[in-house]
Chains A and B, each alone.
Chain A
Amino acid sequence: MIRSNPIAESDRVPPTGLAVVLVREIAARLATFVATGEAAAIDLRSLPMTDGDRRELETILGQGDVSAILTVAGTSEIWETAISGVWWVRHRSVDGHVASEEIVVAHVPDILTTQPDDARDSLARLRSLIENDGAAVQSLRPLDREFAGQTQGGQ
């Protein structure tokens, strides 16, 4: 279960205007990205943001078409904002507190793509499964057929 941080006294401090300044910074990074393809990231946790500032920034940027939940060492919430190419990446620890929070300007945040080392390890695991464990491979077959059937059915 995700536990958000308890309401802090700092919540009572009204937004400081930092969100509006940040939007300009994001616009500058997006301009570079559009012109050159250079991705960028802004670490929100290192800024003296109040929770009010964070909420204001979330409201300004809005919610886009894509959102993803990453379940690795705690849950991470990742969504494209209403500004295409601008993503919000919020990593939570297992106990639910925010471990890091970034605005990423990119086609897709790096962490969402399959990491080459993980793919290599998975291939090794799959091969060892095929070689050493016939029963497990058997259990894969119906799924395989089902998937093939669906694909054919869809054509």
Chain B
Amino acid sequence: MTIPSTLGEVLAQQGVSRRALLKYSAYVASILALPAGASRVIAENLAKARRQSVIWLSFQECTGCTESITRSYSPTIEDLIFNLISLDYHHTLMSVSGAAAEHAREAAMRENKGKYIVVVDGSVPVKDGGVYSTIAGQTNLAMLKATAKDALAIVSVGTCAAFGGIPQARPNPTGAVAVSEIITDKPIVNISGCPPIPEAMTGTLAYLLSFGKLPELDHLGRPKAFFGETIHDRCYRRPFYDKGLFAESFDDEGARKGWCLYKVGCKGPIAYNACATLKWNGGTSFPIQSGHGCLGCSEPKFWDQGGFYTPLAAQAGVSGELVGTAAVAGAAMGGAAAWIARRHQRSHLAEVEALDRSPPAKSKG
């Protein structure tokens, strides 16, 4: 049997038809918000592409990101991505361990020099020389620098790798930082979320394979296709927000009627992510649809933004009551409530940024 060199040949040997690839490409074009006609181009490019070597490094993390990407128990169209990449190192998923695992990583780096992609989940502790997290006797800091050196690009999956996440929450005892604070000379894509939406991870990898370049990114390095709009922009409860109809607590009449969750702490207006359209668990639901406000987990410092149940406006120093009143008036004034929320969104972000600029809380040790 000849050794296949292109993905088209790999798939043909595995009995995956070109029609299946076309179906997968329609799905990729859809989740990446590309023109629907792009699916034919994606299919043709994928068929010609080479299998992509991927080295996955897990640092200060909870394995939630890996759980998210491998959430499916049955083979689905989305899983085709796993035929398109060669996952050469992932210490949770690979069968070998110890020295053999590290040799696999080194071999992949040698054989695919300058061409492999490094996926990182988890933040990197830098305090005290990075001793707070090590793998095979190497600090995460040293392993990241060594592995990133000859990489084509880095994909930081999860809010911890992208922005520091929970390990970085005050008082940040280990000096946790985002990957982008350590690696500054490689293209980096941030797929934030705690965990990120699986389609955002697989879709970004599929884009890289199809077009040989990074997708368009926002100012925080996130693919605009998934992070271009807020949850609030696409929320099905938005008509209630615009009419000033809010749940005041989790068991009141408003909650039962499915009204807007702004007053019980929803961070949808400042959270850029695709949960409201792609949803979770195969399109079943997302937190707001299940009756809980958005935590804003795809945003930097989400853990330190005050209480999850404190309304945004109250956190930004504006009375939540005032917004409620203004939003009720908004029902008569068209988009006024939305405008007020946008203003609060901006002032809230300014406040978070100001907090960032202030010296960090002192931590001992």
Taking beta carbons and an 8 Å cutoff, which residues of A are in contact with B?
A: 5-6, 8-10, 12-13, 16, 39-43, 45-46, 48, 50, 70, 72-74, 76, 89, 91, 93-95, 97-102, 104, 110-111, 115-118, 121
Q: Could you list some 30 contacts between A and B, CB below 8 A?
A: A5-B283, A8-B285, A9-B258, A13-B236, A13-B239, A16-B239, A40-B37, A48-B236, A72-B19, A72-B20, A72-B23, A73-B24, A73-B80, A74-B23, A76-B23, A89-B26, A93-B77, A93-B78, A93-B282, A94-B76, A97-B282, A98-B283, A100-B27, A100-B31, A110-B22, A110-B40, A115-B17, A115-B18, A118-B17, A118-B18
Residues in chain A near residue B17, CB distance under 8 A: 72, 115, 118, 121
In the complex, A50 Cα to B277 Cα: how many Å? 10
Residue of B nearest to A93 (CB): B76
Residues in chain A near residue B77, CB distance under 8 A: 73-74, 91, 93-94, 99
A111, B78: Cβ atoms under 8 Å? no
In the complex, A67 Cα to B156 Cα: how many Å? 43
Interface flags for B271-303 (1: CB within 8 Å of A; 0: not) read 000001100001111000100000000000000
Shortest CB-to-CB span from B275 to chain A, Å, is 13
Besides the known contacts A50-B236, A70-B23, A118-B19, 16 further A-B residue pairs in the complex with CB atoms under 8 A apart: A9-B258, A41-B39, A43-B33, A43-B36, A46-B277, A48-B234, A48-B276, A70-B19, A72-B19, A91-B23, A91-B27, A93-B77, A111-B26, A115-B19, A115-B22, A117-B47
Residues in chain A near residue B78, CB distance under 8 A: 93, 99
Shortest CB-to-CB span from A43 to chain B, Å, is 5
Residues in chain A near residue B358, CB distance under 8 A: none
- B interface residues, how many (CB within 8 angstroms): 40
A117, B18: Cβ atoms under 8 Å? yes
CB within 8 Å of A: which of B16-70? Answer: 16-20, 22-24, 26-27, 29-31, 33, 35-37, 39-40, 47
**Partner of B30 from A8, A46, A94 at Cβ < 8 Å:** A46
Identify whether the interface residues of A are mostly helix, strand, loop, or mixed. Answer: mixed
Q: Ordered nearest first, which 6 A-B pairs have the shortest CB separation?
A: A41-B36, A115-B18, A97-B282, A100-B30, A10-B236, A93-B76
Residues in chain A near residue B35, CB distance under 8 A: 41, 43
Shortest CB-to-CB span from B32 to chain A, Å, is 9
**Partner of A102 from B18, B30, B33 at Cβ < 8 Å:** B30
B27, A99: Cβ atoms under 8 Å? yes
Residues in chain B near residue A16, CB distance under 8 A: 239
Residues in chain B near residue A99, CB distance under 8 A: 23, 27, 30, 76-78
Residue of B nearest to A13 (CB): B236
Shortest CB-to-CB span from B70 to chain A, Å, is 14
Residues in chain A near residue B276, CB distance under 8 A: 48
Determine whether B12 belongs to the interface, using a CB cutoff of 8 Å to chain A.
yes
Residues in chain A near residue B16, CB distance under 8 A: 73
